[in-house]
Amino acid sequence: MECVKEIIDPGKLNGIIRLPQKMKKRKVEVIVLPADEPIEESTVQAKLRAVEELNGLIADQSKEKLDEFDNIISRRINLRKTAVEL
């Protein structure tokens, strides 16, 4: 996605954008993005969505499967000394 980013004197924005008083005395950064292009999903958002989907899959499992899953994870994470109660 193409964008324009510029640091400018806030006086250039008079009549375009109303700024809070605090911002009128400092330089501001203006970022312009096209309104018709969809915003791409960030990596963090994608990871959070994947974790939510995984949580849904895990919640549907039996107690035995959850215990097995926790046992496997406990072996892979060296910091964990005891299993987590699910």
Q: What is the pLDDT of residues 27-52, one digit of tens each?
A: 999 988 888 766 666 777 777 777 77
Instruction: Supply the DSSP string of 7-49, one letter for each residue.
Output: EE-GGGGTTT-PPPHHHHTS-EEEEE--TTSPPPPPHHHHHHH
| Distance in angstroms (rounded) separating the CA atoms of residues 72 and 59 | 16
pLDDT tens-digit map of 49-85: 777 777 666 666 677 777 777 777 666 666 655 655 5
Task: Report pTM.
Answer: 0.39
Check the CA dihedral 21-27-28-30 and report its sign: positive
The answer to whether residues 29 and 3 touch, using CB atoms and an 8 Å cutoff, is no
In this prediction, residues 2-24 reach a mean pLDDT of 89
